[in-house]
Structure 1
């Protein structure tokens, strides 16, 4: 049985910061290692939600010709199968999934994606529970979409972990599984090995986040453009934005675009409010209503996103990139980048630059 492997190396990093020793990030073989196709198994149960099944098939399945034309150096490292306890389970509105592989196929998967199913209160077959727990024990990455979190919770994989699901079902998840740290205010939660997404189309955000983690932002942005989807929405963005009536004609989007185009500037609440022509108090209130985020939290996210792009696509020194996107010091850049991505700028460059340069 081929299982995900963990590789660790110690190296001295030349990244524009003072010299120090670092460990390479742990990588699942088949994506970051480039040794074999990364096997993605989508769990198909009776009552599987159709859109939850379509999203990972579109993002991880065969890519359209557009991708090769847009990014000639990018290749798809994933192989995708449908896996489940039934050969032809009903899904969606009475549709039937065909070519479903036996449940034992989960034993070979590097990543397992669990779509939502109806009803959420349905019992979980013992063999499915055992297969998911075995996969978790051997280190497979497990991803749930929308109400698929109920499947993971029933398998005992979310106990003691933060997780999200569709906001309408969050209280039911909390009631049925009190040991789960339910966070219905998130679009998705990445807790390392276990990842969960919020309602319906937030599954796109999570799958693009997985793609970005594996292959970098250039790959995720290319697929997002094909899907006509936002290339990146922050995981901390609320599922539902209760935007006050009357804000539609006074959007701060023009100001946000100005900030994106001038990330090097030392922006403050005062300078951003001045550009928008409002008070700082009005800026913070309206910004929160429109994005679900604080002004400075959003700004940091934009700076990190641009830094990721530059690390992947240029040979500029890392310290220079930090200053170019507006971080005031090398230490500030390293701290914010690591907090947002879980890895340092140097590690990120080593992990993602080669993959975007591999011939198709």
Structure 2
């Protein structure tokens, strides 16, 4: 994996990549990556946080990498150098998966790699991205966009979500969950960055976390909005409104994602039949599980088990 920095480096977003992909966790049975920080001019590079980082590798490592990751790009209003743009294009031609965190999307767009494709960036930078690169289809209300060979994340900490998503895609849910536990972060967050855009919000009642914890222990049972609302001592409409304001998604979508993750974990770590997995994850039947797997994951339970079981 090659993490690419320009004339300046974004310390936090580079740190995300170092935390997810730069630590050797092989002693714990987790994957280890050949992680390299690269730039056009190896040596000390200033960060946006007031200190320098040492960049040991040049663009040749970028061209040869299997995964090329770009942390936030502080100089989003400047053109890429021809050498850096060509290195990114060459890596893409060679089959690398490209991951851009926060304003890292500006670097990919500057290399012409996002033309006509969906992408996201920090909510404060969407207007500039649209202005500088009108050929990019910008998705604003998401934490990340997965276009297969290119993944872009929303602002700052959404880079954790996108990085763990890539780990999940490469190694399965169980591995991504294990990495998330070691980082003390959620393995998957529902909703989008719209919930973080600056806007006045009315005071919200407490207690949602306890309801979600309870729901995770009872995914195999019928869980309606009214049943969840009763746990929170709220009406169904008030609960749904509070849920959306707090999480950025609906109770139904959140439950579906949690059930899919439970199914993935069972497929990877047990010999249960698909019918049994569907029952324990709360889908009721194998057909319903297959339907949602196809719609949300683009695959089948059997194919997921073969890939990660």
For 2:195 and 2:238, locate their aligned partners in 1 and report how far apart those are by CA, in whole Å.
23
Q: Contact 2:21 / 2:33 at 8 angstroms: preserved in 1?
A: yes
Q: 1:233 aligns with which of 169, 186, 189?
A: 189
Q: 2:201 aligns with which of 232, 244, 251?
A: 244
Per the alignment, residue 16 of structure 1 pairs with: none
- Displacement of 1:174 after TM fit? 1.1
- Displacement of 1:127 after TM fit? 0.9
More helix by share: 2
In the alignment of these two chains, the number of paired residues is: 307
Q: How does 1:31-110 map to 2 (within 5 A)?
A: 40-63=1-24, 68=27, 72=28, 74-88=29-43, 89-110=45-66
Structure 1: runs of 5+ lacking an equivalent:
1-39, 354-360
For 1:209 and 1:235, locate their aligned partners in 2 and report how far apart those are by CA, in whole Å.
14
1:331 aligns with 2:283: no
Per the alignment, residue 141 of structure 1 pairs with: 97
Q: 2:171 aligns with which of 187, 193, 215?
A: 215
Per the alignment, residue 174 of structure 1 pairs with: 130
Q: Contact 2:190 / 2:248 at 8 angstroms: preserved in 1?
A: no
Per the alignment, residue 279 of structure 1 pairs with: 235
Deviation string 1:120-142 (CA, Å, 9 cap, x unpaired) is: 11220001111111222232100
Helix, strand or coil at the partner of 1:97 = strand
Q: Contact 2:103 / 2:122 at 8 angstroms: preserved in 1?
A: yes
For 2:260 and 2:284, locate their aligned partners in 1 and report how far apart those are by CA, in whole Å.
13
Q: Contact 1:143 / 1:195 at 8 angstroms: preserved in 2?
A: yes
- Displacement of 1:252 after TM fit? 2.1
| Higher alpha-carbon deviation: 146-155 or 114-123 | 114-123
Q: 1:298 aligns with which of 254, 269, 287?
A: 254
Q: Which has the higher contact order (CA 8 A, sep 6+)?
A: 1
For 1:252 and 1:56, locate their aligned partners in 2 and report how far apart those are by CA, in whole Å.
31
| Higher alpha-carbon deviation: 270-279 or 108-117 | 270-279
- Displacement of 1:117 after TM fit? 2.3
Structure 2: runs of 5+ lacking an equivalent:
none
Q: Contact 2:30 / 2:175 at 8 angstroms: preserved in 1?
A: no
- Displacement of 1:41 after TM fit? 0.7
Deviation string 1:230-274 (CA, Å, 9 cap, x unpaired) is: 222136464517683331x43322222222111111222232233
The two structures have a TM-score, normalised by structure 1, of: 0.80
Aligned residues: CA RMSD: 1.9
1:165 aligns with 2:126: no
For 2:193 and 2:222, locate their aligned partners in 1 and report how far apart those are by CA, in whole Å.
24
For 1:350 and 1:219, locate their aligned partners in 2 and report how far apart those are by CA, in whole Å.
15
Per the alignment, residue 15 of structure 1 pairs with: none
Q: How does 1:304-319 map to 2 (within 5 A)?
A: 304-319=260-275
Q: Contact 2:3 / 2:38 at 8 angstroms: preserved in 1?
A: yes
